[in-house]
Each structure stands twice: as C-alpha cells, then as structure tokens.
Amino acid sequence: MLDKFYKSLIRFFAKFGLKHFSGYLDPIKKEIEQSDLKIVYETYVGKMFLFSFLSAILIFDYMFFLLSFIAKTSISTAIVGAILVGIISFFLVLTIFHSYPFQKITRKKASIEANLPFAVNHMAAIVGGGVPPYLMFKLLQDIKEYGEIAIEAGTIARNVEVFGMDITQAIRQVADTTPSPEFKQILLEIISIIKTGGSLEQFLKNIAKEALFDYKLRRERYLSTLSTYADFYTAVLIAAPLFFVSILSVMSLIGGKIVGMSIPDAMKVGIYGLLPLLNIVFILFLHFTQPPS
C-alpha cells in the first residue's frame, strides 16, 4: 500500500515538474543517460520534486517550532522565517538533484581519462595475442583497476551477449553515451578499423603512446604549478599571519580595537577561526584542481 502511494507521488511530481519546469530539466535528460544512474528520466524528476517539497515542509515545521517555542518570537515572525528557510531548503535540494548527474559524469570522465593510457596499452597487448575485439572488451571488464573504462568495456560485452548486437553496434552505443571525448574518438576509430580490416593492434599501440605522453605532460605541468602554489601558501598563509600577529602583539600593548573587537579577541578569531578556514579552502582548491590520477 505504501509502495503504491510512494510511486503515485513520484508520478504526480514527475508530471508537475515536466509541465512547469521543462526548460530547467531538459539539460539533465542526457546527463542521466551518460552518468549510468540506472533510473528513468521521469522517475528521477519525480523524486527530485518529491524530496524537494518534503524537505521544504520538514524544514518549515522545524523552523516554526524553533522560532516560536524556543526563540519565543511572534507567530508572524516565526511563519515568515520558516517560509523563507523552507523555500531555501526546497531550492537547495532541487539544485543538489539537478547537479548530481553532472557530478557523476565529471567523476566518470576523470576516471576514464586517468586510466586511458594504461587501458589502451593493455588492449593493444590483448589484440596482439590474436584475440578478437569482442573478447578484448570482455577481458578488460574484469580489470577493476581501470575504473570506468572497465565498466564501459563490460557494457560493450553485455550489448553483444545479452542484446545480440554485433560488435560495431555495441561499441557505437557506448561511444554515443561516454562522457570522455578522447575515449569516444578511440571507440569510433576501432569501429572504422573493424569495418575496413586495418591493423587494430598497431592503432592501439600508437594511441597508447600518445595518451601516455599526454598523461606525463599533464602531470609535469601540474607539478610545476604546485611550486607556484607552494610560494603562494608560504607568503599568504605562513609569513603574512606571522607578520600580522607580531604587529597585533605590539598594538595590544598600546590598546585599541579592530572591527569592534579588542586586539586579543581579534587575534583569537584570526588564529582559531580564519587561519584554519583558509587552510581548508586551500586544501580543497588543490584537490579540485589536480589532474585525474
């Protein structure tokens, strides 16, 4: 009974979302296909709006209780504050759902491009042993170290074994949905070579050399960039704080205030609050700017 009610709610909110927010939702339709979420687009839209409305209602109730019974504000203030926070919660959950497929695609693309030089080199070695392309992908799917490439190879093998596609159709289906332009180009070239009877082994060896060269180049560029980041970190997050602490220590002997705070309090805020926050931001910056590895 509850399961039927839940599914009917999803269908209702899916119709609501597709009717009133089609322009906002159109970009995620292809992203859901590329991200391998294993969910129908309409069902995803229904869940997106269902959980967004539920979060808004729950947050509204919580904030109304907090403002009216804990903070002892007036009923009108509690209602207005709860409505505002509920609206923010609605759009926050909606944004999380909307961006999640894109985040999955980004991680998938990074995994493919990081493992591409090594996977293609392995593919060349397999083909060099006289193995046909279908078995090449079937063998590749069992090597989990290749991340998303192993999953894409498994999809090609599944297309042949389960859906009865020929190898070129199976490869093209994956090429049309993969988020990596480099991997897509390689798959299309493999299709062309299979059809024309060219040397697949030689092609994969050449691609592996180029991909490995690009991989090394990206790592070297990043290492040179890290030296710049290190200089910035030393100047801004080590030397500058020491300099300001020294100045503030001298100023505290004279007296005065900074932004309405006493100098000792300002030093505590900077040391225990601002500096850790800046270090966390710097670490996150390094994490998100490093090339896939």
- Given this model, what pLDDT does residue 186 score? 94
- Given this model, what pLDDT does residue 260 score? 66
> Rounded CA gap, 104 and 173, in Å?
19
What residue type is assigned to position 219 of the chain? R
- Given this model, what pLDDT does residue 8 score? 92
Instruction: Give residue 168's Cα distance to chain centre.
Output: 30
Give residue for tokens 């500058």: 240
Tokens of 240: 């500058």
Tokens of 163: 């859906």
Residues in a beta bridge with 257: 262
DSSP string covering 83-118: HHHHHHHHHHHHHHHHHHHHHHHHHHHHHHHHHHHH
Residues in a beta bridge with 262: 257
- Given this model, what pLDDT does residue 291 score? 67
> Rounded CA gap, 218 and 214, in Å?
6
**pLDDT tens, N- to C-terminus, the chain (293 residues):** 778 888 899 999 999 988 888 888 888 888 888 887 889 999 999 999 999 999 999 999 999 988 888 777 788 888 998 999 999 999 999 999 999 999 889 889 988 988 999 999 999 999 988 888 889 999 999 898 898 999 999 999 999 999 989 999 999 999 998 999 999 999 999 999 999 988 998 999 999 898 888 888 888 888 888 888 888 888 888 888 888 888 888 877 777 777 667 778 778 878 887 888 888 888 888 877 776 65
